[in-house]
């Protein structure tokens, strides 16, 4: 087989492949969007709940060892709530991180 024949076959194959590919890239994006939306929802909710749980846990231990019940629980529950909100905003990519030149600005919104 010489080069011209080979080029000809390659061109035909390219055409055949192009006709098989989806015309509209948007339609594929839609399917991907819903799958990663599902992942996003799970991620955000668990981030928020984890913040509150850890805050409450620290508050409970604080009270238990220092005998300040119920103030430690109250204060750390509120701090945990704030940390949960911070977690959610951060994983949603809503917080502009001060750049130090290496981090990509949108490094937190992978999915």
Residues that bind other proteins (rule: CB under 8 A) add up to a total of 33
Q: Scan residues 1-20 and list those touching other proteins (CB under 8 A).
A: none
Among 22, 25, 67, 98, binds other proteins (CB under 8 A): 98
The yes or no reply on residue 66 touching other proteins (CB under 8 A) is no
3-state secondary structure the chain: CCHHHHHHHHHHHHHHHHHHCCCCHHHHHHHHHHHHHHHHHHHHHHHHHHHHHHHHHHHHHHHHHHCCCCHHHHHHHHHHHHHHHHHHHHHCCCCCCCCCCCCCCCCCCCC
Residues binding other proteins (CB under 8 A): 35, 38-39, 42-43, 46-47, 49-51, 53-55, 58, 76, 79-80, 82-84, 86-87, 90, 97-98, 100, 102-104, 107-108, 110-111
């Amino acid at each position: 087989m010489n080069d011209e024949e080979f080029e000809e076959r390659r061109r035909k194959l390219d055409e055949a492949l192009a006709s098989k590919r989806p015309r509209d890239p948007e339609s594929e994006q839609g399917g991907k969007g819903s799958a990663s939306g599902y992942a996003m929802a799970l991620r955000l909710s668990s981030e928020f709940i984890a913040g509150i749980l850890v805050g409450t846990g620290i508050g409970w231990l604080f009270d238990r060892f220092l005998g300040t019940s119920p103030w430690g629980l109250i204060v750390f529950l509120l701090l945990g709530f704030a940390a949960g909100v911070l977690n959610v905003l951060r994983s949603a990519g809503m917080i502009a991180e001060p750049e130090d030149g290496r981090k990509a600005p949108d490094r937190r919104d992978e999915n």
